[in-house]
Chains A and B, each alone.
Chain A
Amino acid sequence: MNFMASKQPENSLLGPEADSQRTLYPYVTGTSVVALKYKDGILMAADMGGSYGSTLRYKSVERMKPIGKHSLLGASGEISDFQEILHYLDELILYDNMWDDGNSLGPKEVHNYLTRVMYNRRNKFNPLWNSLVLGGVKNGQKYLGTVSMIGVNFEDNHVATGFGNHLARPILRQEWHENLSFEDGVRLLEKCMRVLLYRDRSAINKLQIAKITEEGMTISQPYSLKTYWEFSAFANPAQGAVGSW
């Protein structure tokens, strides 16, 4: 008799790892995060969608959070793993504050911590299914880095996760320059987010832009972007070749 395959893997093959947790596939996921350095600090954008497979299930998920005084973390991928990372970071920041020595973890240190966590989980074949963007300013130094679920990490003047790698980074490579003003930075991010909205199936039209500078960080209220559909070729796609599609 053939029983329906259960979710539980064959214990005999797993051995001692049978009880340990391993994320095999993500369930509730966030899509791209895009970020860039500008004159006063870092700007980061992410939409508020939490997809469940192809269903756009949750539409008010905050995928960017402040970390301590100097950093901003944005995440794509499995939301439950992102929530777990925030718990780890809560503890990290708490212990940092408990030293009460006037020193505080900057973005470079937090990025390094996250890299170690992600890479070590990958080595145990139990990854946190996220791509993270960590940005911040400390003592006038701007920092923007990224870590993937397999531990690949680097820092750059502009970064993106997921689809953003393919759609946003080429735009940023062309149009980013040193000492962008706040307005230009926001416009550039919005340009990227609009393209992602057109071309990424899991994107939703509800986003937030976060800013972090030496003074502190703010996350904007959720808002929507206007989109453009009034091309004549859109209204009449078959005009040039009647009967075609």
Chain B
Amino acid sequence: MDLNMDLNAPHSMGTTIIGVTYNGGVVLGADSRTSTGMYVANRASDKITQLTDNVYVCRSGSAADSQLVSDYVRYFLHQHTIQLGQPATVKVAANLIRLLSYSNKNMLETGLIVGGWDKYEGGKIYGIPLGGTLIEQPFAIGGSGSSYLYGFFDQAWKEGMTKDEAEQLVVKAVSLAIARDGASGGVVRTVVINSEGVTRNFYPGDKLQLWHEELEPQNSLLDILNSPSPEPMNI
């Protein structure tokens, strides 16, 4: 591995991002790893970015590109909200993201998932992959970690979940992707958006469920060595 090249590689978010609709709103989820080549530049990044009070976006791909697109759209939406006199709809936010992504398709490298709640359509999720296609979906997955989740969601996704079911699904999925994708890691962040407002949640890496071939974390080998040996079995 050419370490020099990797340390100077453009900041990119390997990433796993997810957006899921449920009966009453949406749940957005993401990991927290930002890498430059092989080095983890930020192990606790926040990839779920606010656009308005009721619309958030999950960012993947180039950190710079996704941040700039979010900043521009936040700016446009702010003006739009003032002119409109009421909160912007999720559809408008998604279309603004699409406009920037499509017009600059040759220069941008970012896949985004827009999610939010408005009074007209309720909870909505829009995927905007590379190229600038706009696609409304009941759930969306993105980032390099999403490759490992297509089968999982085919099996586990159900229409009309409750808020807690949806959030548990998102946390489980991001956690599974982190287990297999080197470019995803750290903590799981979720944002729940519904008519009542927005709730941010934080699931630290050591609190997530253990998967195949993962072991319970210990403070030290010494603790294992010093613990009493198992009792012989009585048949």
Contact = CB atoms under 8 A, between A and B. Distances in A.
Interface stretch (A24-32, A34-42, A94-102, A201-209): A24-32
A27 B131 contact: yes
A7 B135 CA distance: 24
A150 B9 CA distance: 36
A6 B127 CA distance: 25
A2 interface: yes
B5 A80 contact: no
B104 A83 contact: no
Contacts of B4: 1
A49 B69 CA distance: 28
Given A4-B9, A50-B135, A21 B129 contact: no
Nearest to A6: B10
Contacts of A83: 98, 102, 133-134
Interface string B69-84: 0000000000000000
A55 B132 CA distance: 17
B133 A28 contact: yes
A9 B107 CA distance: 9
Given A21-B104, A23-B105, A28 B9 contact: no
A57 B37 CA distance: 26
Contacts of B109: 7
A78 interface: yes
Contacts of A9: 106
Main SS class of interface, B: loop
A21 B100 CA distance: 12
Given A4-B5, A6-B10, A8-B107, A84 B131 contact: no
B150 interface: yes
A219 interface: no
Contacts of A6: 10
Interface residues of B, number: 26
B135 A2 contact: no
B169 interface: no
B5 A58 contact: no
Contacts of A50: 133, 135
B130 interface: yes
Interface in A19-69: 21-24, 26-28, 50, 52, 55, 57-58, 60-61
B156 to A, nearest CB: 16
A27 B107 contact: no
Given A4-B9, A21-B104, A80 B150 contact: no
Given A7-B107, A61-B135, A80-B102, A27 B8 contact: no
B113 to A, nearest CB: 13
Nearest to B37: A4
B103 interface: yes
Given A21-B103, A23-B105, A28 B5 contact: no
Interface in B136-151: 137, 147, 150
A149 interface: no
A124 to B, nearest CB: 13
B11 to A, nearest CB: 12
A229 interface: no
Contacts of B2: 2
B133 A80 contact: yes
A78 B131 contact: yes
B129 A27 contact: yes
Q: Give the top 5 A-B pairs by smallest Cβ distance, nearest first.
A: A27-B131, A80-B133, A80-B132, A79-B133, A27-B130
Interface of B: 2, 4-5, 8-10, 37, 98, 102-107, 109, 127, 129-135, 137, 147, 150
Given A3-B5, A28-B131, A28-B133, 16 more contacts: A1-B8, A2-B5, A4-B5, A4-B10, A4-B37, A7-B106, A8-B107, A21-B103, A21-B104, A22-B106, A26-B131, A28-B129, A50-B135, A79-B131, A80-B102, A84-B102
